[in-house]
Amino acid sequence: MPSIASPNDEDSKRVNVNTASLKDLAALPGSSMMLANLIKSSRPYKVVEDLLEATNEIDWLAIESKLMF
């Protein structure tokens, strides 16, 4: 029988862009230390549009499921 992940399990795998370390931000798909620094320096983010506006380089489709605000 397959296991069903609860929302809390899914949230524990996500990175909060407002509190994550540089290491965690740089580990996101398509990210780098330079992009992680840009993300960190442009905090806080209230909505995804804030993040996209601050970081034109970000591949939203690659990291969408890995972020939380």
Quote the percentage of the chain above a pLDDT of 90: 46
Q: Rounded to the nearest 5 degrees, what angle is found at the Cα of 30, between the Cα atoms of 26 and 36?
A: 30
Positions of E strands within the chain: 15-16, 67-68
Q: What is the pTM of this model?
A: 0.75
Q: Does residue 39 surpass a pLDDT of 90? A: yes
pLDDT at 10: 53
How far is 33 from 24, CA to CA, in rounded Å? 10
Place of tokens 């591949």: 59
The predicted model gives 6-11 an average pLDDT of: 51
Handedness of CA 57, 50, 63, 23 (dihedral sign): positive
**The two structure tokens encoding residue 32:** 């780098």
How far is 2 from 62, CA to CA, in rounded Å? 26
pLDDT at 62: 84
